[in-house]
Amino acid sequence: PPPPPPPRIECRRQRQMCIRDRSDLGRLNAYDGATLQAIGDAGAELDDDPGLRAGVITGAGGEFCSGADVAAVAAGGFDDPPYPEVAEGISAKPLVAAIEGRCLGGGMMIACGADLRLAGRGASFGLPEGRWNYPAQWLGALGRQVLPAHAMELALLADGRLPAQRLAEMGWLNRVVADGSALSEALAWADRLAALAPRALRNFKELVRAAAWSDPDTALAMGHRHAAEQVSMADTAEGAAAFAESRPPRFEDR
């Protein structure tokens, strides 16, 4: 059958949406180096546009991503960055992954780069790299997002797949939803994120990620720096005024 349409990143500009095609899809949304570069570029676009507050990353054709394109691996098609850096975070602004179908190998790498993850009930997950002696340099990111025993379950039992509910039990998925509804649910979350204080959300992201590998004093010092910055912002005064006036705040990230 013909391949499904290209993968896309969807960005929320309050209630408006812009869609950017990012690359040609291989079978089941397999990626090559150019695809990963395009994902990184989309994250940079999200961060650089002050009118964008949150993003959603999803796969087309009812599949999230089956991992690396084996033909591209054989041809050396992974010289272009970002790889495996996408697992460490695709953007500074909030990013939601909407997962349907297969999320395997490098598909999980890409989803690690999101901040919130929703999946359809029938989605399946796994790390088959161990079956073929493929590397997975990005597993440190997964190891910081779940308990070590859960990361080992995924990494070592490479001959099987796990259902979405199991990934939710591990704490890697934030929500399991009805099949076919992951994107609409993720876009609803993006709308909620777009209405919140943008600087606060970016600071919270940075602090939570840093705390995963920093000592407590370093993380607390970062929190103090963030607090000093935020209390002097016009958005903080706007938040207080909106609360007092019982109205939605109008944040401008300043």
- pLDDT tens-place string over residues 7-29: 455 554 443 333 333 444 446 89
pLDDT of 26 reads 46
On average, the pLDDT of the chain sits at: 86
pLDDT tens-digit profile of 189-215? 999 999 999 999 999 999 998 888 788
**Strand pairing class (124-126; 175-177):** unpaired
pTM of the shown model: 0.86
Q: Which of 58, 67, 62, 64 is nearest to 8 (CA)?
A: 58
pLDDT of 114 reads 97
DSSP single-letter state for residue 29: G
Tokens in use for 102?
A: 């297969």
pLDDT tens-digit profile of 25-69? 446 898 888 888 899 999 999 999 999 999 999 999 999 999 988
> What are the φ/ψ torsions at residue 104 (nearest 5 degrees)?
-120, 145
> Residue 78: pLDDT above 70?
no
pLDDT of 43 reads 95
pLDDT of 94 reads 97
C-alpha span between 250 and 227 (Å, rounded): 20
> Residue 222: pLDDT above 60?
yes
Which amino acid, one-letter code, is at 105? G
Cβ atoms of residues 8 and 21 within 8 Å: yes
12-16, 80-84, 222-226, 246-250: which is most confident: 246-250
**Sequence-distant (≥ 6) Cβ neighbours of residue 60 within 8 angstroms:** 4, 5, 6, 7, 8, 25, 29
Which amino acid, one-letter code, is at 244? A
The dihedral through the CA atoms of 201, 206, 209, 214 has a sign that is negative
pLDDT of 134 reads 83
Distances (CA, A) of 238 to 42, 230, 242: 30, 12, 6
Q: Where are the beta strands (DSSP E) in 59-142?
A: 95-99, 102-104, 116-120, 124-126
Q: Residues of the chain with pLDDT > 90: what percent? A: 63
pLDDT of 18 reads 39
Q: Which of 37, 127, 129 is nearest to 86 (CA)?
A: 37
Per the model's pLDDT, the better-predicted residue between 116 and 73 turns out to be: 116
> Residue 81: pLDDT above 80?
no
Per the model's pLDDT, the better-predicted residue between 192 and 220 turns out to be: 192
